[in-house]
Amino acid sequence: MTTTIATRWDKDIPGPSLLPILGELPMLLRFAFNPLAALEGLHDTYGDIVRIKSGKDPAIIVFHPAYNREILRDPSIFHSYNLDFLPIPFPRNSSLGRVMNSMPFLNGEKHNDHRTYLLPYFHRNFVTRFHDTCVDVTKKKLDSWKDGQEVDLRSEMEQLAMWLATKPILGLDPEKDGETIGRQLEHSMKLLFSPFTLLLPYNIPGLPFHRLLKSAERLEHAVREAIERRTARGSYGEDILSALIQLHEQHPERVSEADLVSQTIMFRGGYSPNGMTLYWTIFLLSQHAEALKNVLDELAQVLRGESPTPEQLEILPQLEGAIKEAMRLFPAGILTARYSMEPFELGPYRLPKGMWILLSAYITQRIPEIFPDPYRFLPGRWSSIHPSAYEFMVFSAGPRYCIGSSLAMMQLKIALSMILQRYTLTLKPGAVVDCEGLNAIRPKNGLPMLVNSYNSPSRNVPFKGNVHKIVDFNPSI
């Protein structure tokens, strides 16, 4: 990158030309209908930095790790997006305002204070306290499957991920409490991410925005009930909610009652990406016989059919490679956003305050110079590559990297090692795997898989669906 500072960024940064009258609408529609193709198109056509909007609410999108680093390492200039930055009149003093204010949406001093306080509870050594509860809930899920049964792997893993997250985050009963809050959360999020909700943001009965406000009220009610139950016990545990309640009791000026509600919503960060990683890893392994064999041989050698101990989780490189590869191909979010609070320089450009900057893990993690054959699922690559966090961005990078990454890796390795040692999962013949989602890539019609006892012969099942655009399942070599 040069050191010359270009001041006419809106002329100098390449990007699609706007159509008269329609403006950015065609690009937005392309993005709404096929976000992955839209991102790939922008990168292929314009390169590592693209102007997507000038004028009011200017926006760029960056793909290069050097740009990712510049943006993610300085949260004082680049704030995380939240309701304040959206051009929609979200009622602040409402259930929706409170539930949309958990740690990923906080900025400045408050974010720093809450994150610093919670960091020790997410430390790699601390989270092993939840090892046994993760084994227990996984065993419960596996006991519920029968040899020869068909399951929708998407919904099964989403449920397991909710169970896995409940004890460490809420300290409550996984099935009763965790699932109740999780289901209500999913209902609210579905409404929030519907284009119709955002296009018609009016609190009028019958409109989706009204339904969203009502759904957020029910969610807040469920969360407050969980907090009350946790408080009523009188003794606190080692979970995140207990830690927050204790801070609230000692320093209400640091964590208010509303903050307690908001921070409890980080429960979703604890289960949603884990669920996705669980089902995509199993699906990808089921279609890659050699990679599956490598993982199974490793599990047989290290675990010998037993559930893993915390120490054994550290010596499963084949399994870890498969998980990382699934997260690389299907990152929890294809985009993340920041908002500039000051004018800033990025490469050769001088850019204004009040700009949206989008970063795309999906595209960065497919740069062939970093990940050769980027569309292939190659878990073995992880024994020889060591990308930086600005290149492999699944947990983001910089001072706001995912606080739950150690917990997530522990949970994923426990659950996957137990599932793969107990059952062989095969895609149901005739299945169509089509993906949907604006930011998270999920199988639209679920993932129908056949469950057979371990050691049944595994086989790749030919299938159709747009997932073939995300992963190259049939390399022609």
Structure token digits, residue 257: 């009652």
Site for ligand HEM in 141-170 (CB under 6 A): 169
Site for ligand HEM in 257-276 (CB under 6 A): 266, 269-270, 273-274
Q: Residue written as tokens 């990683």?
A: 277
- CB 444, CB 454: distance < 8 Å: no
Among 407, 410, 419, 425, binds ligand HEM (CB under 6 A): 407
- Stretch near ligand HEM under the rule CB under 6 A, chosen from 41-49, 301-309, 345-353, 391-399: 391-399
| Least distance to ligand HEM, CB of residue 359, Å | 8
Q: Is residue 277 a contact residue for ligand HEM (CB under 6 A)?
A: yes
The half-sphere exposure of 356 on its side-chain side, counting CA atoms within 13 A, is 21
The residue (of 94 and 112) whose beta carbon lies closer to ligand HEM is: 112
Q: Is residue 394 a contact residue for ligand HEM (CB under 6 A)?
A: yes
The residue (of 67 and 395) whose beta carbon lies closer to ligand HEM is: 395
The residue (of 82 and 445) whose beta carbon lies closer to ligand HEM is: 82
Contacts of residue 199, Cβ cutoff 8 Å, sequence gap at least 6: none
Q: For ligand HEM, what does the binding mask look like between residues 357 and 386, x meaning CB under 6 A?
A: ------------------------------
Q: Is residue 396 a contact residue for ligand HEM (CB under 6 A)?
A: yes
| Least distance to ligand HEM, CB of residue 403, Å | 5
SS3 59: strand
| Least distance to ligand HEM, CB of residue 4, Å | 30
Site for ligand HEM in 280-339 (CB under 6 A): 327, 332-333, 336
φ, ψ of residue 80 to 5 degrees: the values are: -75, 150
The residue (of 178 and 404) whose beta carbon lies closer to ligand HEM is: 404
Q: With both helix axes pointing from N to C terminus, report the angle between 289-302 and 405-422 in degrees, rounded to the nearest 10.
A: 100
How far is the CA of 106 from the CAs of 12, 61, 99, 271, 407, in angstroms? Answer: 33, 22, 12, 20, 21
| Least distance to ligand HEM, CB of residue 381, Å | 19
The residue (of 9 and 395) whose beta carbon lies closer to ligand HEM is: 395
- CB 284, CB 449: distance < 8 Å: no
DSSP string, 81-148: P-GGGSSS---SSSHHHHHT-SGGG--HHHHHHHHHHHGGGGSTTGGGGGHHHHHHHHHHHHHT--TT
The residue (of 134 and 407) whose beta carbon lies closer to ligand HEM is: 407
The residue (of 75 and 448) whose beta carbon lies closer to ligand HEM is: 75
The residue (of 292 and 358) whose beta carbon lies closer to ligand HEM is: 358
- CB 286, CB 292: distance < 8 Å: yes
Q: What is the DSSP letter of 75?
A: T
SS3 453: strand
Q: For ligand HEM, what does the binding mask look like between residues 428 and 467, x meaning CB under 6 A?
A: ----------------------------------------
DSSP string, 291-356: HHHHHHHHHHHHTTTSPPPTTGGGG-HHHHHHHHHHHHHS-S-S-EEEEESS-EEETTEEE-SS-E
| Least distance to ligand HEM, CB of residue 169, Å | 5
- CB 134, CB 163: distance < 8 Å: no
Count the residues of the shown chain that bind ligand HEM, applying the rule CB under 6 A.
Answer: 24
Contacts of residue 33, Cβ cutoff 8 Å, sequence gap at least 6: none
Q: For ligand HEM, what does the binding mask look like between residues 191 and 230, x meaning CB under 6 A?
A: ----------------------------------------
Q: Is residue 103 a contact residue for ligand HEM (CB under 6 A)?
A: yes
- CB 145, CB 421: distance < 8 Å: no
- Stretch near ligand HEM under the rule CB under 6 A, chosen from 32-40, 304-312, 372-380, 389-397: 389-397
The residue (of 340 and 424) whose beta carbon lies closer to ligand HEM is: 340
Structure token digits, residue 314: 């550290």
Q: Is residue 408 a contact residue for ligand HEM (CB under 6 A)?
A: yes
Q: Is residue 110 a contact residue for ligand HEM (CB under 6 A)?
A: no
How far is the CA of 261 from the CAs of 165, 244, 265, in angstroms? Answer: 17, 10, 7
What is the Cα–Cα distance from 235 to 242, expressed in whole angstroms? 9
Residues that bind ligand HEM (CB under 6 A): 80, 103-104, 115, 169, 266, 269-270, 273-274, 277, 327, 332-333, 336, 394-396, 400, 402-404, 407-408
